[in-house]
Amino acid sequence: MKLRGLYAITDGPLLAGKFLPYVEAALEGGVTLLQYRDKSSDEARRLREAEALRDLCERYKTQLIINDDAELAARLNVGVHLGQTDGPLSPTRALLGSKAIIGSTCHAQLELAEQAAKEGASYVAFGRFFNSNTKPGAPTCSLDLLDEAKRTLHLPICAIGGITLDNAAPLVAHGVDLLAVVHGLFGADSTAEVTRRARAFNELLKV
């Protein structure tokens, strides 16, 4: 499967009261990967929401990724995205199997991406590139890093952090395959606008 296109990431507070309608509106506009990101400890709700997203993703032929929770991903038979504090990637690859999509946060460090590639990552994520509501303290990445990553890695490259329709084009020009977007997609005031933004992001990537 070719990993290229819009990578939509959910945000509980941002989507409060409109969670499934906004996610479906994004899927309607075309999403390659959908990440369920929920940092709360309400496991029953997390399972319920993740199951609802899995069913939606199956309908739209989109891959669901669970943030930071390999056990939940294994339970639902979907992919997972791991941060640097989640331990090595190899045990997760063993748990989820060879076909599962596993992504790795690499911040602004090529070495972390090279290590993730060795351990069986499906894609690597660099960021943040711009001011980000989700990760305000993360170090900033440069476009030069993308050029270097493109030269040395043979994996899809994901960019994350404050990405909007207004600032995404240079990232694509420097070789990004996946644009990971939270507020730039779901911070819209209607489902129609979410769908429009999703289509526009994919247009930038010519998906």
* Average pLDDT by stretches of 10, the chain with 207 residues: 94 97 98 96 95 98 97 98 91 96 97 96 96 74 96 97 97 98 98 98 94
Q: Which residues are annotated as a binding site for Mg(2+)?
A: 68, 86
The pair of structure tokens assigned to 166 is: 């207004």
The pair of structure tokens assigned to 59 is: 């309908």
Q: Which residues are annotated as a binding site?
A: 35-39, 67-68, 86, 105, 132-135, 162
All structural domains of the chain = 5-205 (3.20.20.70)
Residue-level pLDDT at 87: 82
CA distance 167 to 204: 11
Residue-level pLDDT at 132: 74
Rounded to two decimals, the pTM is 0.96
Residue-level pLDDT at 1: 67
Residue-level pLDDT at 60: 98
Long-range contacts of 105-112 (CB under 8 A, 24+ apart): 105/81, 107/138, 107/139, 107/141, 108/139, 108/140, 108/141, 108/142, 108/145, 110/145, 110/148, 110/149, 110/152, 112/84
